[in-house]
């Protein structure tokens, strides 16, 4: 075996080991939980305890499996005590007479999720864990797993977890004959959520985001590998959908490997690459292995190069760093270890093309690319080395509002920029989209569910409402958007039924350094702010607006709200509106090439034809029947 292949594989093993060593130091004999510091979830203590074992076990299972292909003497010093600890934790956690018992599963309990994941870990670990359990020990674990049979599961990707548990029970000779009928029914429900072109809507969540990668195209491939031999037609359908999904998904990663933060559970970070390794494992990947490896490796190394570890050395809840306030209420200290899914390549043999193929450039490195994805209502495009998701079709179910509608409700999401959260459910953050504030500022409304109208490579249109149920407030908005390099041209048509202040906000510029922001003003219609590295700018079109700012320049300016860094700056333009209709239009820029940020010369704002000229980018002409006449 060529040395460079072993070295590359070994680097992957060492990435996993780096994550495992802090966990080993926290493993206490006789315990069935790992005391990972972090906020508690809104489930219960038993669910958090199980999560602290099950998710790290998945990580360990991948690393331990890889030692069969490549091991050094020192690896046993870590693997053997961790093997022993995980086994005793599993036995104590599933023993009702143990003081460490995790409790039984029940309808819609988080245990159903963790049990399904645990099944995958047990299947990977059969040689050193499951097969080394005695008959009595296996019966105990199976009896505990049986407490999930017949339970209700949320109508979304969670149905996969019930499928895994029942499949495992059937394989081990337990359960009722009806299990197979339930599995088939759940698969029917899951397939009803298919949108086309490899994309799924996540059931009751109604959202389309990175769960497509680290849930739908991960769990389906695992089911095919473990249990799919009984239903080759189903396997073929799901593999076909993965083959439709992955080629476009390669566009979602910047040259550094980062993917745009978009949707819920982004604290799982590099598990966004989960389906690449699984597709390669099944021989079903439509992506060249050298490209798949580059995406997986760069994405993981991007995050491992950030301060993502908390004081114990464990993975933190956050994005670029520990920031618990951004995570969902269902998360706890053990939650980020679903990043373990990214280590699926360690299940591949050393001679697999994933390891042997020469590296290939990422799509973002091969020029400006814009790909329209009508099924999910998204456009993904490259901007130099960065990537942007244009969001024309996010749906936000009422059950997801509590997780923060801003995770799906902004016009676009870019690598390197991040976004703002809100700590007040009545005040939607102002960045990267349109908001409406009541006159005393106590209520700020943002975009919720969205109907895509047009999803094309160079433009999009969508319809949504800025409204709040309890106040019966409502402003109907049709947003149209075009883009050129780091700029967006945005036109909002609105129909308002109350007096509000409409605001369009720039992307949220962030910094780790206080007082890093510098103001740039050019005339009455242009405003920008920058740091040494990057900036944001707004240019008003059509007049009759005023500019404003929403900043946290230093520690004295309130609590942190940006997912990437402690300090932020946002610029917005606003107009007071009454009952009636109108337009709000602007040009919005964000990026690192400051020469791009110069204002545009407006040559025409005529009906159906808007023309601009830029000192660096040249002329930009947009012909569209939806363009109104605005005052130039």
Q: Tell me, yes or no, whether 531 and 455 share the same domain.
A: yes
Q: Which residues make Cβ contacts (< 8 Å) with residue 229, sequence separation at least 6?
A: none
Confidence of residue 240 (pLDDT cuts 50, 70, 90): very high
Distance CA 263, CA 218 (A): 17
Decide if 605 is inside a domain: no
- At residue 5, the pLDDT reads 60
Retrieve residue 308's tokens. 């993502």
Bridge-based pairing of strands 487-496 and 526-530 is unpaired
Q: Is 616 contained in some domain?
A: no
Calpha distance 465→585 (Å, rounded): 17
CA distance 476 to 496: 7
Query: Are 72 and 17 within one domain?
Result: yes
What pLDDT score was predicted for residue 418?
Answer: 96
308 and 434 housed in the same domain? no
108: left (phi over 0), alpha (psi -120 to 50) or beta: left
- Single residue among 319, 343, 366 that ends a domain in this structure: 366
Same domain, 104 and 232: yes
Domain boundary among 343, 366, 389: 366
Q: How many domains does the chain have?
A: 2
Q: Could you read off the pLDDT of 274-309 as tens digits, one per residue?
A: 999 999 999 999 999 999 999 999 999 999 999 999
**How large is the angle between the packed helices 274-281 and 232-249, nearest 10 degrees?**
130
Backbone phi, then psi, for 574, in 5-degree steps?
-140, 155
Bridge-based pairing of strands 473-484 and 526-530 is unpaired
Q: Are residues 392 and 348 in the same domain?
A: no
CB 466 within 8 A of CB 434: yes
Same domain as 383, residue 324: no
- Asked whether residue 318 is domain-assigned, the answer is yes
CATH of the domain at 146: 1.50.10.10
436 and 299 share a domain? no
pLDDT tens across 463-493, in order?
A: 999 987 877 888 999 999 999 999 999 999 9
Q: Which CA distances in Å does 230 have to 191, 225, 279, 324, 464?
A: 18, 11, 19, 43, 44
- Distance, CA of 477 to CA of 313 (rounded, Å): 46
**Whether 585 contacts 567, CB under 8 Å:** no
- Residues of the domain holding 456: 377-598
Alpha carbon distance, N-terminus to C-terminus of the chain: 68
Q: How far is CA 583 from the centre of its chain?
A: 33
Residue 595 CA to its chain's centroid (Å): 31
Report the alpha-carbon distance of residue 80 to residue 259 in Å, rounded.
36
What letter would DSSP give residue 409? -
Same domain, 231 and 324: yes
- 352/408 same-domain check: no
In a domain, 620, yes or no: no
Mark whether 48 and 122 lie in a shared domain: yes
Query: How many helices and strands, by DSSP H and E, does the chain display?
Result: 13, 23
610 within a domain of the structure (yes/no): no
pLDDT tens for 119-142 read: 999 999 999 999 999 999 999 999
In this prediction, residue 146 has a pLDDT band, given cuts at 50, 70 and 90, of very high
407 shares its domain with 315: no
CATH of residue 528's domain is: 2.70.98
Where does 146-288 have alpha helices with state H?
159-171, 178-191, 211, 217-227, 232-249, 274-281
DSSP 77-93: HHHHHHHHHHHHHHHHH
Q: Within a domain: residue 452?
A: yes
Q: Closest Cα partner for 545 from 607, 630, 484?
A: 630
Based on the fold, state whether residues 244 and 383 are members of the same structural domain.
no
pLDDT tens for residues 551-606?
999 999 999 999 999 999 999 999 999 999 999 999 999 999 999 999 999 999 99
Please indicate, yes or no, if residue 188 is contained in any of the structural domains. Answer: yes
Q: For position 230, what pLDDT does the model report?
A: 87
In a domain, 629, yes or no: no
């Amino acid at each position: 075996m060529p040395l460079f292949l072993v070295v590359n594989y070994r680097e992957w093993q060492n990435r996993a080991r780096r994550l495992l060593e802090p966990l080993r130091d926290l493993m206490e004999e006789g315990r069935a939980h790992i005391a990972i510091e972090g906020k508690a979830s809104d489930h219960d203590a038993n669910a958090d305890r199980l999560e602290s074992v099950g998710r790290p076990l998945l990580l360990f299972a991948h690393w331990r499996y890889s030692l069969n292909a490549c091991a050094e003497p020192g690896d046993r010093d870590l693997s053997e005590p961790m093997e022993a600890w995980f086994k005793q934790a599993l036995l104590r956690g599933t023993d009702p007479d143990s003081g460490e018992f995790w409790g039984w599963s029940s309808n819609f309990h988080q245990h159903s999720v963790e049990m399904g994941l645990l099944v995958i870990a047990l299947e990977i670990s059969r040689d050193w864990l499951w097969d080394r359990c005695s008959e009595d020990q296996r019966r105990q674990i199976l009896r505990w797993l049986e407490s999930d049979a017949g339970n209700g599961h949320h109508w979304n990707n969670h149905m996969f977890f019930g499928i895994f548990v029942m499949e495992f029970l059937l394989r081990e000779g337990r359960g009722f004959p009806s299990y197979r009928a339930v599995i088939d029914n759940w698969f029917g429900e899951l397939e009803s959520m298919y949108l086309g072109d490899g994309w799924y809507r996540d059931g009751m969540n109604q959202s389309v985001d990175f769960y497509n990668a680290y849930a739908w195209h991960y769990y389906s491939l695992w089911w095919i590998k473990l249990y799919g031999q009984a239903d080759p037609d189903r396997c073929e359908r799901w593999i076909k959908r993965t083959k439709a999904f992955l080629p476009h998904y390669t566009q979602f990663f910047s040259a550094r490997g980062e993917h745009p933060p978009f949707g819920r559970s982004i604290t799982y970070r590099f598990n966004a690459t989960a389906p690449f390794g699984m597709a390669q494992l099944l021989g079903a990947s439509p992506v060249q292995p050298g490209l798949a490896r580059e995406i997986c490796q760069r994405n993981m190394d991007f995050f491992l190069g950030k301060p993502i570890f908390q004081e114990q050395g464990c993975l933190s809840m956050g994005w670029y760093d520990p920031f618990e306030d951004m995570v969902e209420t269902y998360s706890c200290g053990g939650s980020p270890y679903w990043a373990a899914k990214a280590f699926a390549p360690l299940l591949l043999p050393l001679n697999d093309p994933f390891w042997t193929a020469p590296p290939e450039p990422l799509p973002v490195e091969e020029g400006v690319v814009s790909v329209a994805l009508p099924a999910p209502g998204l456009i993904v495009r490259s901007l130099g080395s960065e990537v942007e998701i244009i969001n024309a079709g996010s749906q936000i179910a009422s059950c997801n509002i509590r997780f923060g509608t801003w995770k799906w409700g902004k016009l676009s999401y870019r690598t390197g920029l991040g976004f703002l959260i809100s700590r007040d459910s009545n005040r939607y953050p102002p960045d990267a989209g349109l908001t409406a504030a009541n006159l005393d500022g106590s209520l700020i409304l943002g975009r919720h569910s969205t109907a895509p109208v047009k999803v094309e490579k160079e433009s999009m249109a969508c319809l949504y409402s800025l409204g709040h149920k309890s106040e019966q407030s409502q402003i109907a908005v049709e947003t149209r958007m075009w883009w050129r390099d780091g700029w967006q041209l945005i036109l909002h048509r609105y129909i308002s039924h109350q007096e509000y202040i409409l605001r369009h906000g720039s992307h949220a510029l962030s910094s780790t350094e206080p007082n890093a922001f510098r103001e740039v003003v050019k005339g009455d219609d242009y405003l920008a702010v920058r740091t040494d590295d990057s900036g944001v700018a707004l240019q008003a079109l059509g007049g009759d607006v005023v500019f404003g700012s929403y900043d946290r320049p230093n520690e004295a300016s309130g609590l942190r709200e940006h997912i990437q860094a402690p300090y932020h700056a946002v610029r917005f333009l606003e107009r007071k509106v009454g009952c009636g209709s109108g337009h709000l239009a602007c040009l919005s820029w964000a990026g690192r090439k400051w020469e791009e940020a110069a204002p545009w010369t407006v040559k025409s704002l005529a009906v159906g034809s808007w023309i601009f000229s830029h000192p660096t980018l040249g002329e930009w002409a947009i012909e569209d029947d939806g363009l109104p006449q605005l005052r130039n």
